[in-house]
Amino acid sequence: MQRLIPVLNSDHVPLHLISVINTLLTAAKEISHRLHQGSLAGTLGSTLDANIQGEVQKKLDVVSNQLIKNMLLETGLVHAVASEEEDDVVMGNPDAKYLVAYDPLDGSSNIDINGAVGTIFTILEKPDHPAEGTELFLQTGDEQLAAGYILYGPSTLLVMTTGRGVRVFTLDHTVGEFLLTVDKITIPQDTQEFGINMSNQRFWLPPMQQYIADLLAGSTGPRKKDFNMRWNAAMVSDVHRILTRSGIFSYPMDYKDPKKPCKLRLLYEAMPMSFLMEQAGGRSSTGYERIMSIQPTHIHQRVSVIMGSRNEVDTCLGYFKQHPCTRPDSI
């Protein structure tokens, strides 16, 4: 099986970009080890602090964030990093050209129940025009150079793209190398499986309520086929299921907390996952627009997410067209 570096070389990925990706994976190997140690590593449980998102930080959120940030900045190849766990952008080498935005431990509410969690990352280039701080990262998803996630499950997987399709690498713990195990992912265009947090159903916009109601009606309803549901409460795990066997995943905007109508973050969750979805032949939308086209206005901006098998996402988007409701400003 091929190791990561020769594969990225064959994809004509610049050497310094390969180094940045490899550094992320060095941090990921340490995170994987600490997760698999569980209680023995003394890093389960929560801290007494909350991040800028207002979420209580798990001890491993903090540890993972520090590991990734420090290792990336030590390379001298990174101009700045943005993280779910950092209020602001952290500047690196002013002469370097790569920007890295990441969610160090997505799904961290699963840590204490031994559930799957992951690291999500996207790599951008410092813009040609003068820009500082958060402005550096305000680029559309189409500007991404590379994106992916490391899924810490029964096996530790790297799923990534540099714009030439989606590949899967599996960590061989015996030699500490990520080895190519899937050369190219193509998502089936149709599906019978959906992922959404049903407890928010009464807060969704009417088009999403109607779309999901028709899925639940199954073969007795307008879709004339039954659907299965899965919800892992970790985007990395739900997205990996879709990349592996089809599906549609959504965390739509809802009126549960008017101050926070959307949950998922655009820069370091929705954008990288949308890059993977489109590279694998899928679709990714807010319900009103392609996520990869959105011009971010803030590094912690949230967005409504509907992504997965192309034909199923198009069917869902049809409900937003058929049931026009006033488009909320927030999505």
| CA 308/CA 219 separation, integer angstroms | 21
**146 is a site residue for ligand AFP (CB under 6 A):** no
108 annotated to bind ligand = yes
Q: Name the segment binding ligand AFP (CB under 6 A); options: 23-31, 91-99, 136-144, 228-236.
A: 228-236
Residues 53-92: x where in contact with ligand AFP by CB under 6 A, - otherwise, as a string? --x-------------------------------------
Q: Determine the distance from the C-alpha atom of residue 49 to the mean position of all C-alpha atoms in its chain, rounded to a whole number.
A: 24
| Window 182 to 201, contacts with ligand AFP (CB under 6 A) | 197
Shortest distance in whole angstroms from residue 141 CB to ligand AFP: 18
| Window 94 to 123, contacts with ligand AFP (CB under 6 A) | 106-109
Question: Which is nearest to 80 in space by CA: 124, 17, 146?
Answer: 124
Shortest distance in whole angstroms from residue 113 CB to ligand AFP: 11
Q: Give buried/exposed letters for 99-138 (b at 16+ CB in 10 A, else e).
A: bbbbbbbbbbebbeeebbbbbbbbbbebeeeeeeebebbb
Radius of gyration of the chain (CA): 19
The answer for residues whose C-beta is within 8 angstroms of residue 37's C-beta and 6 or more apart is: 43
**Residues 84/70, Cβ–Cβ less than 8 Å:** no
Nearer to ligand AFP, 184 or 245 (CB): 245
**304 is a site residue for ligand AFP (CB under 6 A):** no
Nearer to ligand AFP, 230 or 327 (CB): 230
**251 is a site residue for ligand AFP (CB under 6 A):** yes
Length of the chain, please?
Answer: 331
**Residues 303/294, Cβ–Cβ less than 8 Å:** yes
Q: Considering CB under 6 A, how many residues would be counted as binding ligand AFP?
A: 12
Shortest distance in whole angstroms from residue 330 CB to ligand AFP: 17
**233 is a site residue for ligand AFP (CB under 6 A):** yes
| CA 181/CA 166 separation, integer angstroms | 11
Residues tagged in the binding site annotation for Mg(2+) = 84, 103, 105-106, 269
* Residue positions forming the annotated binding site: 84, 103, 105-109, 197, 263, 269
Residues found near ligand AFP in the complex (CB under 6 A):
55, 106-109, 197, 233-235, 251, 263-264
